[in-house]
Chain A
Amino acid sequence: MRYVVAEASEIESGGRKIVTVAGRSIGVFNLDGEFFALRNRCPHQGGKLCEGKLWGVIRSDGPGEFEYRPSREILCCPWHGWEFHVRTGQSWCAPERLRVRRYEVETVAGEEIAEAADAEAAPADDPEAPAPGMVKGPYTAETYPVTREGEYLVVEIPG
């Protein structure tokens, strides 16, 4: 299922928004114009990972040598500092066994959402419709008003 979670302009570069969709807390991050979404739950002990600080990428070839890329794409859990790569959800301290769930994020025009919604809209006489004209289709805007003019971030939650 796909969920509209934010207006694209709402999250500035380097910023984030924590949303609840399909009963899950998810952090949506803007890395220099690209959007990524991670489950807001550290696989270590369940800390609110997406509330953690963002750091640049640091590498070293030996004591005292630092190779720093200020991309701020490493997310550190506020509980124990475990690091995850925002782009992939991959852990940096135990990459072979740990990753945090990531979700696809797409930027979609409001018009497209509205058309998809219209196409999937339940007939007025559908007895299963929660309310007349209510959207059921591939996009679910749980709390989000969508206009045809806007651009929206859409997160895909499988299942």
Chain B
Amino acid sequence: MIDADVHIPNPRLKDLYPLLPEHWVEHFDNTMDKGASQEYYPPKSPVSGRRAGLEELREAVFERGGAEVAISSCLYAVDSIHNPDVAAVLATATNDWQAAEWLEREPRLRGSVVVPIGLPAAAVEEVERCAGRPGFVQVLIPVRTEHSLGSRHYHALWKAIEQSGLVAAIHFGGAPVMPPTPTGWPSFFLEEYTAMAQVFATQLTSMIVEGVFDACPALRVVFLESGFTWIPSHLWRMDKEWRNLRRLVPWVRRPPSDYFREHVRVGIQPLDAPPDPAHLCEIVDQLGSDDVLLYASDYPHVHACDAGDLLLRLLPESLGRKIRSENARSFYRLSEGG
């Protein structure tokens, strides 16, 4: 089994001190700037999990969880930092910390390069710096960004990711200057949390329509914590509108759903499960490909239901096997046995 979405905790600022230039250590010591926020959940809430160390992760993900390989990300929100130099330097230090403290110590654990997405040129440099380093298999991009991910602002970044051979992992969340819903700022977190599916949908549209996959035909993208039940109807609509408006974007030569199935994979946790499990099977079928879904636990975040348990027992064994391991193995180009 391959777990496509586990998390390692955010580094404490002090963890990064040995990896930061002295100038920046002084800056953090002597100013109110303490980097990005450390926590995204109320302390001790089940969804936040524990601030697990490597031993605890090993035990939960590999020994008890049964994963051969787990793809981790560190959600340290460098994208929330408005000082461009601080964002860049903390991204670099976070990646060196992930490599030294986690990836080099546990070869079954793979990592995600953190980038200052608000500064695409700096993000390109960080991708190039980390490309080829053992353990890193993807670049982490929060789904909420200042510009739509297909826009030309990011094309150089997509090119750099494509050429690095890394996957682009687009993950729930993000803290740009833009509101988290298409209609502005919500009043309650429930609204923001629910609207994240629309943000994913918009980013998917943007990347396909603005030609990211035409400019970068080898680019691989994984959506993490996006849910997937919204995808079939969104693709139907995009295909339909593409037939009408194709001329405006002539680089899009195939129906958008073809690009999705070729370039995008989706983690299954958390699951937007319909009340009737039979409907869930229909939605999986409507995705139009057995290659799309990847098993993901979202460790150490605990959700109301275990997506793996709920989904996989409903599906035919052969499809379950693909979701549990084969899809991720082939997409991430992992060799047999890890």
Chain B: which residue is nearest A74 at the CB level? B247
Chain A, residue nearest B243 (CB): A93
Q: Is the interface of B mostly helix, strand, loop or mixed?
A: helix
Of B155, B210, B243, B247, the residue contacting A80 (CB under 8 A) is B243
Contact B215 A62 (CB under 8 A): yes
Q: Could you tell me if A59 and B250 are in contact, using CB atoms closer than 8 angstroms?
A: yes
Q: List A112-138 residues whose CB lies under 8 Å from chain B.
A: none
Q: Do A63 and B243 touch across chains, with their CB atoms under 8 A apart?
A: no
Q: Which of A58-90 contact B (CB under 8 A)?
A: 58-66, 76, 80-83
Residues on the B chain within 8 Å of A94, using CB? 243, 255
- Looking across the interface, which residue of chain A has its beta carbon closest to that of B247? A58
CB closest residue in chain B, given A79: B244
Chain B residues with CB below 8 A from A93, complex form: 242-243, 246
Which one of A63, A81, A83, A92 contacts B214 once the chains associate, using CB atoms below 8 Å? A63
Asked if A55 is an interface residue, CB under 8 A from chain B, the answer is yes
Which residues on the B side are within 8 Å of A92 (C-beta)? 246
Chain B: minimal CB distance from A71 (Å):
14
Which of chain A's residues have a CB closer than 8 A to the CB of B250? 58-60, 66
Specify which chain A residues have a CB less than 8 angstroms from the CB of B247 in the assembled complex.
Answer: 55, 58, 76, 81, 83
Within 8 Å of chain A (Cβ to Cβ): is B32? no
B244 contacts A63, C-beta separation under 8 Å: no
- Hey, what's the 0/1 contact readout for B223-257 against A, CB within 8 Å counting as 1? 00000000000000000001111110111000100
Query: Which residues of B are in contact with A by a Cβ distance under 8 Å?
Result: 152, 155, 210-212, 214-215, 242-247, 249-251, 255
6 new A-B pairs (CB below 8 Å) besides A58-B247, A60-B250, A83-B247? Answer: A58-B250, A62-B215, A63-B155, A63-B251, A66-B250, A81-B247
